[in-house]
Amino acid sequence: MEDLHRAGGIPAVLSVLAPKLEESPTVSGRGILEIARGGVVYDREVIRPLDRAHSPEGGIAILTGNIAPLGAVVKQSAVKPAMRHFKGRAAVFDGEEDAMKAVMGGKVKPGTVLVVRYEGPKGGPGMREMLSLTAAIVGLGLADDVALITDGRFSGGTKGPCIGHISPEAMEGGPIAVLRDGDRIEIDIPGRTLKAALGERELSARLKAWKAPAAKVSTGYLARYAKSVTSASTGAICI
């Protein structure tokens, strides 16, 4: 972010993107094209021209599949090419703390897909950030051997095949709620898919048998929030 600011910031980015922008008002009171015209790029290695972009695609990718029918989010620019297509066996945890204990206890082996659920907008409640868990994975040298999927979220510092915002979340009865230890999971970032090797009949039977666990918070503002907040796929807003 410091490099981006030094290179001219968002106005400079908009100046490069100006040919592809349409006029739109902004909270500043100025139109987006006016801001773009005033932008200056001071470092063209940080903010490159369109014909010399850092990557042919943006940093964020949306994945869908039978684990995330309404989508999931991955920061693909922070995933090594060799890890953008990953297959592994699920190790399922109903919260970040239990997953953290397993990682720090040396119980997570290469080839594992950590599944951390009930951390979404309703389940968290508040869609907790999994930064401590991802930092532990990197610190223990597992970033090239272990993937992480969750209905929670990640910080901007996350790297590796960490997929969040899985929707519908577990607390809503999304498919992530019925994954089990040992299920085979495939992450295909170039193909934009996130799938479990489960037939429709098996998945439907598991979903039919699922029952929502007790809410983590039953009183106060967070309980009210959990009852009114929408899915991550619609912005995790209260209605």
For residues 148 and 171, membership in a common domain is answered with: yes
pTM of the model: 0.87
3-state secondary structure of 91: strand
Query: What is the chain's mean pLDDT, rounded?
Result: 94
For residues 47 and 88, membership in a common domain is answered with: no
Instruction: Give the range of the structural domain holding residue 36, as residue numbers without chain letter.
Output: 2-52
- Neighbouring CB atoms inside 10 A of 115's CB total 26
What CA–CA distance (Å, rounded) separates 50 from 110?
Answer: 39
For residues 105 and 187, membership in a common domain is answered with: yes
Which among 219, 203, 212 has a CA at the least distance from the CA of 171? 212
Q: Tens digits of per-residue pLDDT, 164-176?
A: 999 999 999 999 9
For residues 79 and 148, membership in a common domain is answered with: yes
Q: Quick check: 157 pLDDT over 80?
A: no
Q: Tens digits of per-residue pLDDT, 57-68?
A: 989 999 999 999
pLDDT at 107: 93
In a domain, 237, yes or no: no
Known catalytic residues are 155
How many domains does one find in the chain? Answer: 2
Please state, for a pLDDT cut of 90, what percent of the chain lies above it: 88
Q: Quick check: 113 pLDDT over 80?
A: yes
pLDDT at 97: 94
